[in-house]
Amino acid sequence: MLRKIITGTLVLIMLSTSSVVVYAGPLNGQNIDSELKIENEKKEEKIEIISPQINPNEDVIAEKNLLISIKVIGESKVTLNLYKILDDSEELELLSEEIEPNDELETNYAKNIKNIEPGKYKMVFKKDGKKKLKNIEFNVKKTKEVVNKEIKDSLPELLDLSITDLLLGE
Amino acid sequence: MKRERFKSILLILLFVVSLSLTQRLWFDLPFGEVISLSNNKNIKEIDVDVTDILSPQSFTVSFGGGDHTVFFSEPYEVWNITKADQKKEVWIWETAKLVLRDYLKDDYDIEEIDEDEWKKIKKFKSIKLDFACEVPGNSLISLLSGKDSNMSKIKDKVNTILIPATEEERANVYLGNSEVNRYLKLTGSNMNEEIKGLIENIYEVGERKGYISYYTIEDIFAVENDVLTPVFDEIDIRSSIKNVNELDLLGEDSYADEKGLLSIKSYSTRNQIDVSNNVYIRSKAQQFFGESFDFVKEITEVDGTIIYMYGYGDKALKINRNGTLEYIEKTNKENSQAKLDFLDSLKYASKFVTDKGDWPVNKENAYLYDYEVTEENNEKSYVFYFAYRLHGLPVHIPDEDKNRGIEVKVTGEQVTYYQRIVRVAGQQLDNKETIIPSINTVWEKNSTSIKSNYLRENQLEGDKIEDFKISEKIRNIQLCYFLYQDKLIPVWEITIDNIVYYFDLYNGENYTSYPKD
């Protein structure tokens, strides 16, 4: 009787131990990945472009100088490269800067780009200088260019008007 | 007999000489009262142009398209332009005075505008003149137009004038008081294109000699705040496109140093008045006492302070070892009862300073910093505080509160108090740091203390510290020279809420802070 009790207890212990090993052993790959992914998401760099202000047409108005003001939240350094896109689609690097993230500051980086010419430009943000985080293209236009375009756009197409339209003022 | 006659004649002669000497003394001392010759003029006899001294503290030039720069002295001072014709082309206050004189002498309508419209108009091509204090509007208009101050339609105090340079605004001038957020639009006759020409000249010279670009706090920090701040960290895109040697990026006397970086130098400094120079001190004292200097007592104290006193303290001049000069004169009942207005009192003050040793550097580099009006025993007094500039920037001496250099108290038609603490710039010093960082560096180093000060001043709980951004509370940013360990150091002077801070321009360290008046 005593032997049976001892045997039964031993079997119980062995079974419960093995089940713990099965169900509470090292994590499977999927679990590890999702946890790391969550970690990665938490530390994902966030880039806010305060200036220049790019309108929905991807235009930026700049008479002569352009201010670049960036806020970076995260843990890794971010590299900013500014390129001018030339007529033949070639990219000319104008600026390469490292920006340290700092959640406490309202802005981390401010630089005045002097004597900027009208044309297409691109800002490329990379994490630790390697992984691309963000790509922003914009067109720099001067004030007069924008005003002239607005005037031109607001002029009615005379060819589309018939003589009665003109007479009736429509 | 002959001897007796000789004695009589001698006695008569001595009597006549003593009478004439006494009479000369009585010319200065009628009925026994003490009045300095230079302090006894009727206001109508004082012909002084105070437009130089009642001049703006800073000039904001808006080139249009969001491009701004700010000068804390005339551009020709900053760029070291000495030729008269070249100076005239970039002389902002002189040009503005001429334009405003022609504009204000004709009729104009006044309309109050709201802050939003004021913010909009500031973005256009224009010149904005910011005074250091609120000036009586009628006095300012009277001074600029030449008309009587009683005829002025503007009674409020003013601390800013904006003159647009766009075609649409040719008939408009704007006055404002940023302390109370009140702005007026004047609509009168069309102005000629002098302001537009002035801005173009400044732009052209700025292209060669360099200027500091200013942007709004909103552009940098994404908060609603249109206060302008300099951005020193810059790159000229042309250097990336062309070979640097092909471009003359550095003009003569440029803002940039030999490495092409924007730079504002420090200077050694000393007191203008050297108390150990006895000859100089005595000649200074003679300027105050005039012909009665012979009857003045000289006292030298243990700490080196020298005091000159006339009568029983009727007039006293004190010069202490740190070069501070103080002059006190007892009020003369006849002159102190006169009720002068702001402008007339300012004329008295200006004439007094000119007569007693002149302005630091020159009159064009001095300006009215603040003033007070007091009334005691039916005697109305104006106390004027004047500041001055060295090498293009205003000078701030810590612990001197409002006194940025010169203080003058005018009671009626008499100057009853005068104080002068003036420093002279010496050798240019090399800065340890070579790059002027952006305003972010100031924030990085000081945000905690600034926020704590804000919470304490506004009696808020500590958990509110995360609820706001410091940049929203900035009221003013300017550059000036700060006296520190016998050196003039370029600093940020930043007013955040009601506290004025002084941060080193190169490393963001906080030197001191004061509550704003």
**Average pLDDT per run of 10 along chain A, which is 170 residues long?**
81 74 47 40 73 92 90 87 88 88 75 91 88 91 63 50 49
**Shared-domain flag, residues B472 and B334:** no
User: Which residues lie below 8 Å from residue A162, measured CB to CB, with a gap of 6+?
Assistant: none
The one-letter amino acid at B171: A
* Confidence (pLDDT) at A44: 65
Q: Please determine, for residue B393, whether its predicted confidence score (pLDDT) is greater than 90.
A: yes
Q: Are residues B362 and B331 in the same domain?
A: yes
- The residue-averaged pLDDT of B378-383 equals 90
The residue among B444, B477, B473, B445 whose CA lies nearest residue B457 is B473
Q: Which two tokens stand for residue B205?
A: 């010279």
- Which CATH number applies to A46-142? 2.60.40.1930
| One domain, residues B226 and B198 | no
Q: Which residues of B touch A67 (CB under 8 A)?
A: 213, 215, 219-220, 231
Structure confidence at residue B516 as a pLDDT band (50, 70, 90): confident
Residue B17 lies in a domain: no
pLDDT in tens, B15-52: 888 888 776 655 544 433 444 444 555 666 667 889 98
Q: Higher model confidence: residue B164 or residue B334?
A: B164
**Element containing residue B64 per DSSP (H, E):** strand B58-64
Q: How many structural domains comprise chain B?
A: 3
* Token pair belonging to B154: 């503007």
**Domain stops at, among B189, B209, B229:** B209
Interface predicted TM-score (ipTM) over 0.85: no
Name the residue with higher pLDDT: B444 or B231: B231
Locate the domains of chain A by residue range: 2-42, 46-142
The mean pLDDT value of chain B amounts to 86
Chain A nearest-CA distance from B466, in A, is 10
Is B328 part of any domain? Answer: yes
Alpha carbons within 13 A on the beta-carbon side of B362: 7
Last residue of a domain, one of B394, B427, B460: B427
Q: Which chain A residues have a beta carbon less than 8 Å from that of B65?
A: 61-64, 142-143
Would residue B499 count as lying in a domain? Answer: yes
Q: Which residue of B has its CA nearest to A84?
A: B241
The answer to whether residues B300 and B386 belong to one domain is yes
Same-domain pairing of B440 and B406: no
The verdict on B190 and B251 lying in the same domain is no
Per-residue pLDDT tens for B464-475? 666 667 888 899
For A36, the enclosing helix (H) or strand (E) is helix A29-42
Identify the pLDDT of residue B433: 72
pLDDT at B251: 43
State the pLDDT at residue B240: 65
State how far the Cα of B360 lies from the Cα of B386, in Å rounded to an integer: 10
Residues B459 and B333 in one domain: no
Where is average pLDDT lowest: B403-417, B460-474, B491-505?
A: B460-474
Chain A residues closer than 8 Å to B241 by CB:
84, 92, 94
- For residues B499 and B513, the answer to whether their CB atoms sit within 8 Å is yes
Structural domain boundaries, residue B398: 270-427
C-alpha–C-alpha distance, residues B229 and B216, integer Å: 6
Strand partners, B229: B215
> Does residue B274 share a domain with residue B423?
yes
Instruction: Give the per-residue pLDDT at B30.
Output: 41
Amino acid in position B363: K
Strand, coil or helix: what is A63? Answer: coil
Top-confidence residue, A79 or B245: A79
Q: Could you tell me if B275 and B408 lie in one domain? A: yes
Alpha helices in B371-508 (DSSP H): 439-457
Q: Is A59 left (phi over 0), alpha (psi -120 to 50) or beta?
A: beta
Range B348-357 average pLDDT: 91
- How far CA B52 is from CA of A113, B34, B359, in Å, comes to 37, 32, 11
Interface test with B, best of A104, A107, A113 (most B CBs within 10 A): A107
Instruction: Give the model's pLDDT for residue B465.
Output: 62
| Lowest-confidence segment of B2-11, B254-263, B447-456, B472-481 by average pLDDT | B254-263
Q: Are B391 and B406 members of one domain?
A: yes
Please indicate if any CB of chain B lies within 8 Å of the CB of A85. no
Q: What is the mean pLDDT of residues B430-437?
A: 78
Q: Which residues of B touch A84 (CB under 8 A)?
A: 241
Which H or E element spans position B94?
helix B92-104
Cβ within 8 Å of residue B250, ≥6 positions away: B210, B256, B260
Q: What is the pTM of this model?
A: 0.81
Which of B427, B445, B467 represents a domain boundary (last residue)? B427
Please state, in angstroms and rounded to a whole number, the distance separating the CA atoms of residues B382 and B348.
Answer: 10
E strand or H helix at B296: strand B296-300
pLDDT at B11 over 70: yes
Q: What is the dihedral of CA B194, B200, B201, B205, to 10 degrees?
A: 160
- The verdict on B168 and B257 lying in the same domain is no
- Do B411 and B507 fall into the same domain? no
